[in-house]
């Protein structure tokens, strides 16, 4: 960056980045051609691609014009790489980073093996026959009942990883029930949660 370029960037404002804009059409735009044309139009006379282009009113005395290099780093290899990746995507019809093994994994529907109940993401209804894991960031004792607080029992939470404690409810152990009810006791604070929760089971 020369002295003239430094003067252009002295306002301290970041300008439009062609490299960042090139990422968008791979995932959302119907066609990447307008982005490719805009990136090509923003090159220098020698075909170099800049880090940023001018996106404000023209300032001819400083050589600043909309859609043209703004005096930032040039060439920026990242911008050139994104241009090549986008050009390749127009021919293949998908992003160059596309991994077929990953696409195959998430293309097919997968049954959820364990449903996680947390106070910030409570579950009001679950399919029959699914495992449920009641979780919290603090150790607790699960005070549990079924079908309107029948067959009450207490279950101590175990470390569940990632800073969580949990009680896993096996549907086979619960038997044929229409709902589960529970509240929690937190031994570290010697306090009850002060709220009852219910999760209905089966179709609505």
pLDDT of residue 189: 93
Please state the three-class secondary structure of the chain as a single string.
Answer: CCHHHHHHHHHCCCCECHHHHHHHHHCCCCCCHHHHHHHHHCCCCCCCCCCCECCCCCEHHHCECCCCECCCCCCCHHHHHHHHHHHHHHHHCCCCCCCHHHHHHHHCCCCCCEEEEECCECCCEECCCCEEEEEECCCCEEEEEECCCEEEEEEECEEEECCEEEEEECHHHHCCCCEEEEEEEECCCCEECCCCEEEEECCC
Sequence ranges of the domains in the chain: 3-107, 114-201
- Nearest by Cα to 59 from 51, 50, 68: 68
Cα 98 versus chain centre, distance: 17
Mean pLDDT of the chain: 83
- Nearest by Cα to 38 from 68, 15, 78: 68
pLDDT score of 2 more than 50: no
Q: Which of 69-73, 102-106, 198-202 has the highest mean pLDDT?
A: 198-202
pLDDT of residue 170: 87
| Residue of higher predicted confidence among 2 and 46 | 46
Please give the CATH superfamily to which domain 114-201 belongs.
Immunoglobulins (2.60.40.10)
pLDDT score of 10 more than 50: no
pLDDT in tens, 94-138: 888 888 888 888 888 776 678 899 999 888 888 877 888 999 999
């Amino acid at each position: 960056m020369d002295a003239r370029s430094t003067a252009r960037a002295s306002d301290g404002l970041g300008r439009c980045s062609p490299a960042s804009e090139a990422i968008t059409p791979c995932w959302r735009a119907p066609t990447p051609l307008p982005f490719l044309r805009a990136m090509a139009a923003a090159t220098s006379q020698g075909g170099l691609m800049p880090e940023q282009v001018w996106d404000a009113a023209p300032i001819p005395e400083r050589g600043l014009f909309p859609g043209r290099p703004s005096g930032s780093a040039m060439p920026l290899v990242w911008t050139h790489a994104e241009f090549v990746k986008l050009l390749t995507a127009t021919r293949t019809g998908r992003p160059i980073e596309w991994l077929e093994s990953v696409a195959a994994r998430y293309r097919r529907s997968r049954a959820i093996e364990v449903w996680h109940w947390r106070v910030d993401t409570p579950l009001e209804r679950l399919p029959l026959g699914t495992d449920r894991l009641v979780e919290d960031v603090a150790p607790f004792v699960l005070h549990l009942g079924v079908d309107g607080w029948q067959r009450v029992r207490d279950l101590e939470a175990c470390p569940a990883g990632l800073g969580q404690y949990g009680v896993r409810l096996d549907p086979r152990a619960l038997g044929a029930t229409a709902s589960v009810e529970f509240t929690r006791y937190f031994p570290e604070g010697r306090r009850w949660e002060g709220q009852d929760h219910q999760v209905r089971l089966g179709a609505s």
